[in-house]
Amino acid sequence: MSKNFNAVGLISIITAMFIWASSFIALKSAMTDIGPYTVIFIRMIVASLCFLYFIKRFLKYKFTKKDIKYIALLGLFEPCLYFLFEAKALQLTTASQAGMVASLMPLITALFAGYLLKEVISRKMIFGSLLAMIGVIWLSVNATTSITAPNPLLGNFLELCAMTCGAGYTIVARYLSQKFDALFITAIQSFIGAVFFLPFFTYEIFTIDMTFSVEAILWIIYLGIVVTLGGYGLYNYALSKIEASKAAVFLNLIPVFTMILAYIILAEEFTRSQLIASIVILIGVFISQMKPLKYKFKRQK
């Protein structure tokens, strides 16, 4: 693999992380006027329409029963279950706290890889995971309720559930990326999501008072085109070139980007206790990702 290609891959995955971080802001902003699952459904429709041009290209693929099973599993993990949990989470907690909980995804991905792929789980991984989890609990317990975050404890727990689904998605996507390109994987997620969230959209449209404001619609279009096509496309592209465990490390950038964007756009602020808890989470994630040190001893003559 050339150095030039490494640079392109690095830029791609960092850009994907920034785009994904912005999705917390966009989703929470859109849900101010429109029902959460209506936002998700329209987002998936917008993304799906963008992929219609590539239908003929996708039909050239030959699918085995195993491929179909993994594609269904991919869609179930994300967008289906992932967005069910995250949409509700962002109704109950702040975007910045949700982004901080998202930093646990590399740990969960590594634990899944250890259990499913029989990868070695080091003591540092176990210690870092426990430290990060303590930080999440601390962050949630010390969170204050507000109009935009009525139940941070439950919201952060649901975001943790979403991250678990995201970890499962990462492992399945890594397998599928060996046969299918990033464009197809991103497209199939959008199609599955549109079908899955149709009943939720139908229910909300008849039971919830919603205001389809220009701002909310623009946020949804941003989610459908930039986040879905750009974010997932870049991430799936990266997964086709690097290992899932290495790609997961870059997810640590999401909470940092989210906190910055939430402060600038949503005017969200952390208390001193929440900032300390956030630092504990990031330290735990960092420790879990550290490689064991190897020492070389020279023989004495």
Domain of 126 in residue numbering reads as 9-289
Say how many Å lie between the first and final Cα of the chain, rounded.
Answer: 40
Q: Which of the four pLDDT bands, split at 50, 70 and 90, describes residue 41?
A: very high
Residue 29 covered by a domain: yes
Total domains present in the chain:
1
Q: Which of the four pLDDT bands, split at 50, 70 and 90, describes residue 117?
A: low
**pLDDT, position 119:** 61
User: Could you report the per-residue pLDDT of 226-240, keeping only the tens digit for each?
Assistant: 987 788 778 777 777
Question: CA distances (Å), 177 to each of 58, 184, 185, 223, 227, in order?
Answer: 14, 9, 8, 23, 19
Residue 298 covered by a domain: no
Question: CA distances (Å), 241 to each of 112, 155, 182, in order?
Answer: 20, 34, 10
pTM greater than the 0.95 cutoff = no
Structure tokens at 215: 């701002």
Q: What percent of the chain is predicted at pLDDT more than 70?
A: 88
Residue 105 covered by a domain: yes
User: Could you report the per-residue pLDDT of 250-298, keeping only the tens digit for each?
Assistant: 777 787 788 888 888 988 877 788 788 878 877 877 776 666 554 444 4
Least confident window among 96-100, 107-111, 214-218: 107-111
Cα–chain center distance at 213: 26
Residue 143 covered by a domain: yes
Structure tokens at 92: 């109950």
**pLDDT, position 17:** 87
Least confident window among 83-92, 134-143, 178-187: 134-143
CB 28 within 8 A of CB 92: no
Q: Which of the four pLDDT bands, split at 50, 70 and 90, describes residue 22?
A: very high
Residue 299 covered by a domain: no
Residue 267 covered by a domain: yes
pLDDT at 1 over 50: no
Residue 54 covered by a domain: yes
Across the chain, what does the average pLDDT equal? 83
**Cα–Cα distance for residue pair 157/163, rounded to 1 Å:** 10
**pLDDT, position 5:** 45
3-class SS letters over the chain: CCHHHHHHHHHHHHHHHHHHHHHHHHHHHHCCCCCHHHHHHHHHHHHHHHHHHHHHHHCCCCCCHHHHHHHHHHHHHHHHHHHHHHHHHHHHCCHHHHHHHHHHHHHHHHHHHHHHCCCCCCHHHHHHHHHHHHHHHHHHHCCCCCCCCCCHHHHHHHHHHHHHHHHHHHHHHHHHCCCCCHHHHHHHHHHHHHHHHHHHHHHHHHHCCCCCCHHHHHHHHHHHHHHHHHHHHHHHHHHCCCCHHHHHHHHHHHHHHHHHHHHHHHCCCCCHHHHHHHHHHHHHHHHHHCCCCCCCCCCCC
User: Could you report the per-residue pLDDT of 173-220, keeping only the tens digit for each?
Assistant: 888 888 898 889 889 999 999 999 999 999 999 999 999 999 999 999
Residue 297 covered by a domain: no
Q: Which of the four pLDDT bands, split at 50, 70 and 90, describes residue 71?
A: very high
pLDDT at 299 over 50: no
